[in-house]
């Protein structure tokens, strides 16, 4: 039974992942609801249901449009698979309770923001504005302990990242600032500090690898949103364990 429910979550994740990816691609260009049916970005042909099956259609078509043979972004299958795995993993860790709702909300925010930041180098305001009320409502129903930790987290996140933007002059952007602040509100101050540390660690590791592989210069601007999102998921899944482990080092 447990495996069956995990499979259901995975399959739903594939379908939602397909939607989240399109949201991330279309919200910044304001074209999310202008076309009713899914279409090819190059030839604008409306896609048939066979071409909309997550992951599978990409594999069968070898990553190309059946109309114009233009290659389809690998973001589609990657984000579909990622969302499927994250949905299943979230249910696996939380079971059916309020944490499951928070996990799915986080995924629904993080996947489109990640896609948008990779493709357009920006974290759309409209995504943050759309999701913020849901997170505020969630923290009203299921508050942190103590409840004001959400405000401390948001305030601390805002101050810290704002200072870093001032000092570093362009290392991080205003989109990153708002994104961090929202996570500060969701997780509270202690968990936010862990999140911030992890995001810079992921960013530094990935930046180091990219400089080796692609020979990027130090000045190359890399989008930071994906590492913030990955850090937020790490904190959601393993934050308590990591903080406990850290505190044990000193006791």
Which residues are at the interface with Zn ion (CB under 5 A)?
A: 40, 42-43, 65, 67-68
Angle CA 187–191–197, to nearest 5: 125
CB of 45 to Zn ion, least distance (A): 5
Q: Closer to Zn ion at the Cβ: 29 or 71?
A: 71
Q: Closer to Zn ion at the Cβ: 43 or 210?
A: 43
CB of 71 to Zn ion, least distance (A): 10
CB of 33 to Zn ion, least distance (A): 21
Q: How far apart are CA 207 and CA 137, in angstroms?
A: 36
Q: Closer to Zn ion at the Cβ: 21 or 149?
A: 21
Q: 86-116: b or e for each residue (b if 16 or more CB lie within 10 Å)?
A: bbbbbbeebeeeeebbbbbbbbbbbbbbbbb
CB of 36 to Zn ion, least distance (A): 18
Q: Closer to Zn ion at the Cβ: 40 or 105?
A: 40
The DSSP symbol for 53 reads S
Cite the DSSP H helix spans in the chain.
2-26, 56-60, 75-94, 98-120, 125-141, 149-168, 174-187, 189-214, 225-248
């Amino acid at each position: 039974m447990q495996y069956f429910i995990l499979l259901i979550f995975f399959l739903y994740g594939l379908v939602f992942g397909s939607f989240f990816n399109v949201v991330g691609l279309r919200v910044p260009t304001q074209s999310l609801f202008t076309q009713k049916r899914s279409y090819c970005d190059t030839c604008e042909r409306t896609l048939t249901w066979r071409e909309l099956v997550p992951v599978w259609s990409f594999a069968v078509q070898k990553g190309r449009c059946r109309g114009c043979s233009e290659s389809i972004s690998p973001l589609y299958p990657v984000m579909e698979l990622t969302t499927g795995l994250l949905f299943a993993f979230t249910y696996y860790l939380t079971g059916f309770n309020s944490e499951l709702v928070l996990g799915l909300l986080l995924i629904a925010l993080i996947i489109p923001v990640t896609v948008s930041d990779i493709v357009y180098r920006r974290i759309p305001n409209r995504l943050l504005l759309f999701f913020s009320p849901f997170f505020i409502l969630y923290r009203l129903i299921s508050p942190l302990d103590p409840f004001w930790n959400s405000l401390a987290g948001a305030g601390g996140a805002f101050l810290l990242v704002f200072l870093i933007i001032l000092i570093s002059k362009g290392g991080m952007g205003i989109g990153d600032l708002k994104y961090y602040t929202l996570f500060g509100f969701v997780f509270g101050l202690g968990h936010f500090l862990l999140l911030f540390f992890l995001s810079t660690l992921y960013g530094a590791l990935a930046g180091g690898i990219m400089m080796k592989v692609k020979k990027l210069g130090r000045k190359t601007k890399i989008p930071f949103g994906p590492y913030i999102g990955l850090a937020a998921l790490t904190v959601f899944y393993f934050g308590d364990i990591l903080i406990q482990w850290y505190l044990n080092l000193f006791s």
